Structure 1
Amino acid sequence: MTVSPAGRADRPRPRLEPASIASVAVGGILLCTWFWVSLSLLITGLGGLPALGSGLLLLIPWLLMMQVVVRIERRRAVAIHGLRVILPAQRRSRRQGTSGWLQDRWYELGSGAFWRGVLHHHLAILVTGLFFLASVALLWAGWTIAETAIATGPVQIGTREISRIALAVFSSASVLLAAAMLALGALADRGLARGLISGSEDDLREQVAELAERRQGAVDAAAQERLRIERDLHDGVQPRLVNLAMTLGIARGAIRADPERAERLVGEAHAEAKAVMTDLRQLARGIHPAVLTDRGLDAALSALAARSQIPVALDVDLGGPAAPALDREREAVAYFVVAEALTNIAKHAAATRAEVTVTRDEDSLQVRIRDDGRGGARVHRDGLSTGLAGLTDRVRATGGALEVVSSAGEGTALRADIPLTSSPTPRTLPRTTTEETSR
């Protein structure tokens, strides 16, 4: 596929080459052989599943063969029809050896692209095979008519006589129709490949839209964090530093005239300096808490629950020591979701208790926070009460989604689903859709 100077993608025009015609002939051979073998294995395997799962002895080899066949079909679409195959995003196992290979095969079975490839394989054999058999039948008819015209001359059919010239015309028409059947079979094969396995520009547009959405989420989250830091510095630390400087200035002026007062002022300044250090430490903890780096998410959430102004029931299940470690970005997002939620509950919910549940599976990290407060929480982007908006942006930047359910008088429930793997970028020989609902 090429791009014109105006930026428009020009689709390659269909081409009829010897290889595409030969592919139709191969489809005819496969229709008479492999097509029925494959269907028999599938139907027999499915029928044997109720018999203590004995059908798996046929289904497992068939599925492994189909994975190889789908790869061959993709390469055939590129080599014969000149199509650009866009594979959807696919998870890869982090394990090594045989277990990793088996997990990759399992992930492939769960992808829509694989099953579209299986459907394409059988439909392509069926369609091209029928066109090929029709072409063979027409060639046979043309040959027979030509042989009859040469051997016996005019043919009497009922009361009408068909001359040798008419027979020659019929024979030539049969040969031309046979060639047309091969050409139509090649075009149908190309159309099936384009529709089922090649992907489309819409796939790329969806991927670009998703990446743009995630980038915007990261930008919005960074802007919210910057505003929070500016607000904390301006409203908290800056006035205290100004007050500290004024106290030290007064103490310096009173050192000779009133040493006792100067000593008292220096003591006040010393206490204020320690308080400012505490504020700065809390501000740094808001950027990335040290306990999260040193001891992990479980310990960091336990510290949050212990400091909370209301009782918090905390349940964290990260899969045990054998589970792979969470990366820093997702740990931080989960931490700040819980931290911001508990802060909002303490400030605005008038709740008596809260529940925090953090669980993990192979695909995502789920964070659930629930309280028994007044409810009515909403995501605002008007510059006021933007805490939930900032959380939404943080979660969206990872490819996940934040759901807020908060009916008046029934408390608030937050649910954040954070994917553990980033969506890969498309490969030329990949599509994930992340949706966020504004609430």
Structure 2
Amino acid sequence: MAMEYGQEYGPEYGRGHGPAHGPHGVSRHPAGTGDRRHRPPAGLRAPFEARSLGEFAYVLLSLPLSVLVFTFAVTAVSLGAGLLVTFLGVPVLAAALAGCRGFGALERARARGLLGLEVAAPEPLRARKRGVLAWTGAVLKSGASWRALLYAVLHLPWAVFSFTVAVAVWTTGWAMLTYPLWFWVFPTYAGQDGLQLYGDTTHRIYLDNPFEITVTALVGLLFALAAPWIVRGLTTVDRLLVHGLLGPSRLVTRVVELESDRGVVVDTAAADLRRIERDLHDGAQARLVGLAMDLGLAKEKLREDPKAAARMVDEAHDEVKTVLQELRDLARGIHPAVLTDRGLDAALSSVASRCTVPVRVDVDLTERPAPAIEGIAYFTVSELLQNISKHSHARSAAVEVWRTENRLMLQVADDGVGGADAAAGSGLAGLAERLDAVDGILVVDSPAGGPTRVTAELPWRSDRLG
């Protein structure tokens, strides 16, 4: 598989370094870091940030929407349940669930717009036939429908609580913070010295002198600064509810992922079969056909010209050796015998010896992984080394293999020109898809000018491969 160089890859994922570590010598700070030093702290900016205002707007809208949907859900479901003794109960109940699904779509859109929360739509309805009865059965059988109903019921009490807390904290904070600007309203229009803090039949306390007004404003400032963080904590529960009840279930997500990965595996297997067929047709098969013709001619000349026949037999013998070598190479490309017999260490040393640059191989494994994973690891390293031979212009390379808990780690590094990009549709993209089909990960660090470090992470024993 050809893998082109010439673009830049993502962060380093080297041995002893996780994805969070940046490439060597590359700063993780963005270009605007210097300007951010002059910005106010996050605690002071929070009340005025778009995120905080969006979260507060989300909490404000939650109460009326939840009251509306709760009323609809409880009324419709109760009506449907009461009519189950007749033929009308089932379609009414299905309509109620469909309405809850529609509200779920609205909630996902609201969470996306105000909370920045991306939640995929749940699995669509799967009706085997067309018609009202098939649609009704699909709605009632869908787990997403019942989760949407559960959300409509559970969200109302939480919406009431979060609305009360958010509005109380937010309004109290800003009212107290701005008290120095409007305290004059009380002596002018209310007939009292200021905001009443305490009062009974014999004694009253008003916030009316400069010290008390200042303390009130400072307390209001604390409330105003804390309000966005309190609201953010409240919306965390909303995020969990939307993600857990209105998104796709884990089982369905896993099924979709497996279906996608199965397609990748099938396509890869079909491409490999086509490659093997092409190699056999254009290589060994063509040589064997020519060899048969040469042996036929040698047989005809055996009596007339024994010397010419002997030369033709010698040439056929050489051709047989060539065909055998091609067949060995083809068999090695399917699954090398050395991998089965001796494991990754010997197999990778063998493939490294055929690389055009010196390759250091370090395999640190005390036991062998699953055979399927071992084969994928071998072909991953083989393709990466082939890439180094064709495109990297490197002077040396290194292959490291080790185990981290229940993961098999591979790393292939070279000192070539770098600048590769799997996102550009190169062979690395196909390699990443193959690894993803077995819950693997491919991470590449290849800045322009090099060096290049490609790390593959595979499950020690993949659930998808048994």
User: What's the TM-score, normalizing by structure 1?
Assistant: 0.49
Which one scores higher on RCO, CA 8 angstroms, separation ≥ 6? 2
User: What's the TM-score, normalizing by structure 2?
Assistant: 0.46
